[in-house]
Amino acid sequence: MPTASILVTGGAGFTGSHVAKELHQRGYQVIVLDDLKSP
Structure confidence by residue, pLDDT tens digits, 1-39: 667 999 999 999 999 999 999 999 999 999 999 998 877
Amino acid identity of 13? G
Do 36 and 11 meet the contact criterion of CB atoms below 8 Å apart? no
State the pLDDT at residue 1: 62
Q: Given this model, what pLDDT does residue 15 score? A: 97
Q: Considering the entire predicted model, what is its pTM?
A: 0.82
Determine how many CB atoms are found less than 10 A away from the CB of residue 16: 16
